[in-house]
Amino acid sequence: MSEFVPQPLIQLYIVDIVEGRLEKEGDEQYRWVLFTRNGEKVYKIRINGTVVTKYYSEGNQEKKTYSNFTLDDGSDTIRVKAWEEQAEILRGFEIGDEVEVMGRPRQSDDEIYLLPEEVLKIDDFNKSLYLRAKKIKRYAKKNYELPTEEQTIKAHDMAQMELVWSIIMETEEGIELEEIVTKSKLDKAIVESVIQELIKKGDIYEPTSLKFRKI
């Protein structure tokens, strides 16, 4: 009897899950493996996004308690499904909640969905930004295809993007452009370009001229 080696959680965009291919690995004892559109082999998945629909059905003698919600991360949507005790956990989330899901890919007919192992509500906006930046950095490092809405971010060097963002995040009162240039030691034109991208995506704003602050 073969034993499966524990696998790490892999952070993905939803589009790479739903456009992937799911297969069974093993014979009598098997596990599901996802092959993403980037050619990555994934067993356990970590995603984050917004709950856009939810459903709950109470169980009885003939059927199990069942719940699901649909998660949207801007690249696509996927359903997270659970039964019995796990269904009660999903039931507690509301439409509009930002959540992080750790789970395993499964397939029913032609639908790929997630079977959750852990679901966390994201109350801190900074955590949401952090997870997004971490995911973009991972994709850029591996030279993976990014979803359409992230293509403009790929144009910037990810190290520069993270550096400028972290400098702005350090202060509650905001920070002036020249100080960002000094601290980052980057060319002023690069800093300005990154700042405009962060403003466009809603991560920071400009409360006064040439001074920038986190949302």
CATH of domain 9-121: 2.40.50.140
Spatial CA neighbour of 205 closest among 181, 175, 170: 175
Three-state secondary-structure class, residue 177: helix
Q: How far apart are the first and last CA of the chain?
A: 54
Question: What's the CATH class of domain 125-214?
Answer: mainly alpha
Where are the domains positioned within the chain?
A: 9-121, 125-214
- The tens place of each residue's pLDDT in the chain, 215 residues long, gives 445 567 889 999 999 999 999 998 877 678 899 999 888 999 999 999 989 899 999 888 888 999 999 998 888 899 999 999 899 999 999 988 999 999 999 998 889 999 999 999 998 877 887 888 888 888 888 888 777 655 445 544 666 777 888 889 888 889 999 999 998 888 888 888 889 888 888 889 888 888 998 88
* Angle of CA points 86, 12, 128, to nearest 5°: 75
Q: Is 69 exposed, middle or buried (0-12, 13-18, 19+ CB in 10 A)?
A: buried
